Homo-oligomer: A and B are copies of this chain.
Amino acid sequence: MVDTRFYGQSTPHTVRQLADMCGALLEEISEENRVLFGISTLKNATPADLSFLSNTKYLDDLRKTHAGAVFVVSQYAKEVPSNTLPLIVSDVLPAYGVAAALLYPSVHKPAEIHPTAQIDPSASIGDNVSIGAYSTVEARAGIGAETVIGAHTAIHAGVIIGKRGQIADHVTLSQAIIGDDVRIHAGARIGEPGFGIVPSSRGMVFIPQLGRVLIGDRVSIGANTTIDRGSIDDTVVGNGTIVDNLVQIAHNVHIGKNCTLVAQVGLAGSCSLGNQVVLAGKVGVAGHVHVGNNVTAAAKTGITHDITDNQTIAGFPAEKVNVWRRQVVTLRKLSERPPDKGERNA
């Protein structure tokens, strides 16, 4: 199912190799030399493919799959058809991720700086850096070794990018210091001046935006996401944090480590997130609010006040998730009958 037009030929592996590399238990040793050539969904897999069950919604697909082998947790191993080898793991998706990278290793093109790239002589370019067509690198910018920059990307004066970065096409970077192993997808805008205009008796006053954006190591930033630079303090994205597409991160926001921000989240100015915070799609956080460690917010949650550590929240204004569920059920029940029924009965 993987299109060779885009991903080239696969690198076949035996089931044994895959089980060992992915930490999976293979019970049927007699079949350990079966060779798998590709990956596919349960539904579309052929005997030459590896597949996986990561969501019980697809349990019926598992029972009917023609895959050569599948990653499953032990609980569902008995549902695997007889011609398919179960590869038992405690966590399916990471195992699948490792296997997919083995079967389809990413192609390393030789580093190349395109002749149309405009690079200021004072910029510092590391070893084996690639820069795509028409990209611009201004004075005193620094790009770490093995970083790949796409086409049409603008890197402004003084910006620092770490090693092994993957910066896609059409990205704008200014006033930013970026760690190692960072991925920034197409059209992200990092370091634009935030919303610094305030009314006064003398008319609107521009507040100069004099801060930076600091992005840690192993951060991923989605397509068309916007991260404004700080006004004085910096806007900070901690190590290992993953930001999806079309997310707004305003000036002076501080995001901790290993957070997950799903698409269309919006963080207002000077709010802060602890570590391991998960904000599902379209969540909003108000200005100057603090969200504690290990907080998970359901989609569309509106967070207008500080949230202590280890909560799961939902709704607007945000409530603990079970309180919000009770509110949904309460309103549903109260609306089933005319609201004045109790009074009529009395």
Interface residues of A (CB under 8 A from B): 1-3, 5-7, 39-41, 44, 55, 57, 90-91, 93-94, 96-98, 100-101, 104, 106, 116, 118, 132-134, 136, 140, 150-152, 154, 157-158, 168-170, 172, 174-175, 185-187, 189, 192-193, 195-202, 204-208, 210-212, 218, 220, 222-224, 226, 228, 232-233, 240, 242, 244-246, 248, 250, 258, 262-264, 266, 268, 281-282, 284, 286, 288, 299-300, 302, 304, 316-317, 319, 323, 326-335, 339-340, 342-343, 345-346
Q: Are A1 and B331 in contact (CB under 8 A)?
A: no
A189–B345 CA distance with the chains assembled, in angstroms: 59
A266 to B329, CA, bound (A): 25
Contact at B327–A300, with CB atoms within 8 Å?
Answer: no
| Contact partners of A201 in chain B: CB under 8 A | 90-91, 94
Minimum distance in angstroms from A126 CB to a CB of chain B: 18
Contact A334 B345 (CB under 8 A): no
Closest 9 CB pairs of A and B: A94-B200, A97-B207, A189-B223, A94-B205, A248-B263, A172-B186, A226-B245, A330-B335, A97-B205
Residue of B whose beta carbon sits closest to that of A248: B263
Beta-carbon contact of B284 and A266 below 8 Å: no
The minimal Cβ–Cβ distance linking A50 to chain B, given in whole angstroms, is: 10
Given contacts A100-B207, A189-B185, A245-B248, are A334 and B343 in contact (CB under 8 A)? no
**Is the Cβ of A94 less than 8 Å from the Cβ of B224?**
no
- Nearest Cβ on chain B to A26's Cβ, whole angstroms: 19
Q: CA A150 – CA B152 in complex, angstroms? A: 12
Q: Which of A40, A100, A132, A319 has the most CB of B within 10 A?
A: A100
Q: List 16 A-B contacts (CB under 8 A).
A: A5-B158, A6-B157, A41-B233, A101-B208, A134-B134, A170-B189, A204-B218, A204-B240, A204-B258, A223-B226, A282-B284, A284-B299, A286-B299, A329-B335, A330-B331, A342-B343
Copies in the complex: 3
Min CB gap A133→B, angstroms: 5
Q: Which residue of B lies closest to A247 (CB)?
A: B246
Known interface pairs A151-B154, A326-B335. Does A266 touch B240 (Cβ–Cβ under 8 Å)? no
Q: CB-nearest residue of chain B relative to A317?
A: B328
Q: How far is the CA of A317 from the CA of B301 in the complex (A)?
A: 12
Contact A244 B186 (CB under 8 A): no
Q: Please name all residues of chain B whose beta carbon is closer than 8 Å to the beta carbon of A282 when the two chains form the complex.
A: 266, 282, 284
Which residues of B are found within 8 Å of A198, using beta-carbon distances? 93-94, 97
Cβ-defined contact, B158 with A154, below 8 A: no
Looking across the interface, which residue of chain B has its beta carbon closest to that of A196? Answer: B97
Contact of A98 among B40, B91, B205, B268 (CB under 8 A): B205
Closest to A341 in B: B343
The answer to whether A192 touches B245, judged by C-beta atoms less than 8 angstroms apart, is yes
Q: Which residues of B contact A94 (CB under 8 A)?
A: 198-202, 205
Evaluate contact between A226 and B224: CB separation under 8 angstroms. yes
